Amino acid sequence: MPKKYDYIIAGAGLSGLSLAYRMRKSASHQNASLLLLDKDTKERNDRTWCFWSKKEDLFDEINYKVWPKIQFADSEINQTYNIDPYKYKMIRGIDFYKHVLSFLNTCDKTDFVSSGIENIEETASEVIITTSNETYSAPWVFKSYYDNLDFSKSNFVWQHFKGWIIKSELPVFDKDKAIFMDFRVPQDDETRFFYVLPFNENEALVEIAVFSEAIPKPSFYDPFLKEYIKEKLEINTYEIVEEELGAIPMTDYNFNKIKSNKVIHIGTSGGQVKGSSGYAFYRIQEEMDRLMGYINQNKLADYKRPINRYHFYDRIFLNAILTGKTNGAKVFGKLFKKLSPQTIFKFLDEKGSFFNDLIVFTAPPTWPFTKAFFQELFKR
């Protein structure tokens, strides 16, 4: 007999834990039982999340660093911006996992089991989940990882990256300023940029991000990192304290196509990664707030991922990048030359007016986007 729960969260990463935290903080459903399943124990610092925000956020107490200023650089400009009323915030994966799991540990009727899920089967009344050594069931499952999705008919590119947390001998970093994007790196027909997140004057995460269709070997990034640290940051003596490696799918795939009645897809598998930027932390927080509304009102059957005009904009951007009509360096370069970061953030947050959208769309060269627009419009 399967072990029965009221809700199961399949995959306890960012979205799964963000949802569980909200469910257990919410006054409603305190008697409902909740199981979190993850193949990992969530005891490693496997990622660093950065996001901009202009308000107090749910996880502010675990911010590792908050920067009031950002810098953008390419071959033509190198500028620092005060981003008030926004702040650029950073949370370390390990701090987030510890914070949420230790809270969940104090909650009744809440279990975390570290075990890989082998099968999820939906029946008329419940969902049955099989792991290597147990079977569980619940009327509702929130699933935060995907398997076997066919992206071949969608625009799809990986944003993959490697970073080093370095400690320099000399105090070289401006601790109040994050380097948001620095395109001063050979592009080789791809989109490549650095970002630098200083924790103090001696320590920072220096990372290179690349948009491409295939993910290279981890050693691919090392010469770029070494060169950038030496030539652009002008640091000769440093120690590598930690390494971060990862990849984010950037796609316009319609995740609403994943058909299921009782399995609700969240996080990356719910389409909450922004197709044109790869940012997901803040979007996941907002979407988990929205999902909580449906849970609290017992209306989960009505829940649907929202699709708005920005989904079409992301399609245009991805088309233009993937078909070589333009590249990220040109687009972001023009945006930062012509517009304030606040205007760009508003657009990327999908919170702009039509007028704001128009300003952003006409800042980069318009011809590549016009061609991409018509291709996407007539795409079946």
Among positions 5, 8, 9, 11, the unique one binding ligand FAD when judged by CB under 6 A: 11
Q: Which two tokens stand for residue 186?
A: 């050979």
Q: Determine, following the binding rule CB under 6 A, whether residue 159 of this chain makes contact with ligand FAD.
A: no
Among positions 5, 9, 15, 316, the unique one binding ligand FAD when judged by CB under 6 A: 15
Q: Distance between CA 211 and CA 276 in Å, rounded?
A: 10
Phi, psi of 109, rounded to the nearest 5 degrees: 55, 35
Q: Determine, following the binding rule CB under 6 A, whether residue 88 of this chain makes contact with ligand FAD.
A: no
Residue from 294, 273, 313, 360 nearest 26 by CA: 294
Stretch that binds ligand FAD, among 10-18, 99-107, 180-188, 325-333 (CB under 6 A): 10-18
Among positions 5, 7, 8, 13, the unique one binding ligand FAD when judged by CB under 6 A: 13
Q: Determine, following the binding rule CB under 6 A, whether residue 39 of this chain makes contact with ligand FAD.
A: yes
Among positions 2, 68, 139, 246, the unique one binding ligand FAD when judged by CB under 6 A: 246
Q: Are 182 and 202 in contact (CB under 8 A)?
A: no
Q: Determine, following the binding rule CB under 6 A, whether residue 21 of this chain makes contact with ligand FAD.
A: no
Q: Determine, following the binding rule CB under 6 A, whether residue 267 of this chain makes contact with ligand FAD.
A: yes
Q: Minimum CB separation from ligand FAD for residue 132, in Å?
A: 10
Q: Determine, following the binding rule CB under 6 A, whether residue 53 of this chain makes contact with ligand FAD.
A: no
Q: State the alpha helices, DSSP H only, in the chain.
A: 14-25, 93-105, 222-227, 281-296, 309-322, 328-338, 341-348, 354-362, 366-377
Q: Is 81 helix (H, G, I), strand (E, B) or coil?
A: strand
Q: Distance between CA 228 and CA 210 in Å, rounded?
A: 14
Among positions 157, 280, 331, 360, the unique one binding ligand FAD when judged by CB under 6 A: 280
Q: Minimum CB separation from ligand FAD for residue 51, in Å?
A: 5
* Per-residue contact string for residues 204-243; x = within reach of ligand FAD by CB under 6 A: ----------------------------------------
Stretch that binds ligand FAD, among 5-13, 213-221, 235-243, 343-351 (CB under 6 A): 5-13
By beta carbon distance, the residue nearest ligand FAD is 13
Q: Determine, following the binding rule CB under 6 A, whether residue 14 of this chain makes contact with ligand FAD.
A: yes
Q: Distance between CA 47 and CA 33 in Å, rounded?
A: 29
Instruction: Please report, in angstroms and rounded to a whole number, the separation of the first and last CA atoms in the chain.
Output: 46
Stretch that binds ligand FAD, among 6-14, 101-109, 166-174, 215-223 (CB under 6 A): 6-14
Positions in 99-118 near ligand FAD (CB under 6 A)? 116-117
Q: Determine, following the binding rule CB under 6 A, whether residue 276 of this chain makes contact with ligand FAD.
A: no
Q: Which two tokens stand for residue 239?
A: 């120690």
Q: Are 88 and 52 in contact (CB under 8 A)?
A: yes
Among positions 7, 21, 51, 112, the unique one binding ligand FAD when judged by CB under 6 A: 51
Task: Show Cβ contacts of residue 151 under 8 Å, excluding neighbours closer than 6 positions.
Answer: 249, 251, 253
Tell me the CA distances in angstroms from 51 to 40, 122, 282, one per residue in order: 25, 36, 6
Q: Determine, following the binding rule CB under 6 A, whether residue 144 of this chain makes contact with ligand FAD.
A: yes
Q: Minimum CB separation from ligand FAD for residue 142, in Å?
A: 10
Q: Which two tokens stand for residue 155?
A: 């625009």
Q: Distance between CA 74 and CA 64 in Å, rounded?
A: 27
Task: Show Cβ contacts of residue 242 under 8 Å, excluding neighbours closer than 6 positions.
Answer: 45, 164, 165
- Extract the runs of DSSP E, i.e. beta strands, from 199-322: 203-212, 238-251, 263-265
Q: Minimum CB separation from ligand FAD for residue 280, in Å?
A: 3
Task: Choose between 250 and 372: whose C-beta lies nearer to ligand FAD.
Answer: 250
Q: Minimum CB separation from ligand FAD for residue 15, in Å?
A: 3
Kindly list the residues in this chain that would bind ligand FAD in the complex (CB under 6 A): 11-16, 37-40, 47-51, 116-117, 144-145, 244, 246, 248, 267-268, 279-281, 284
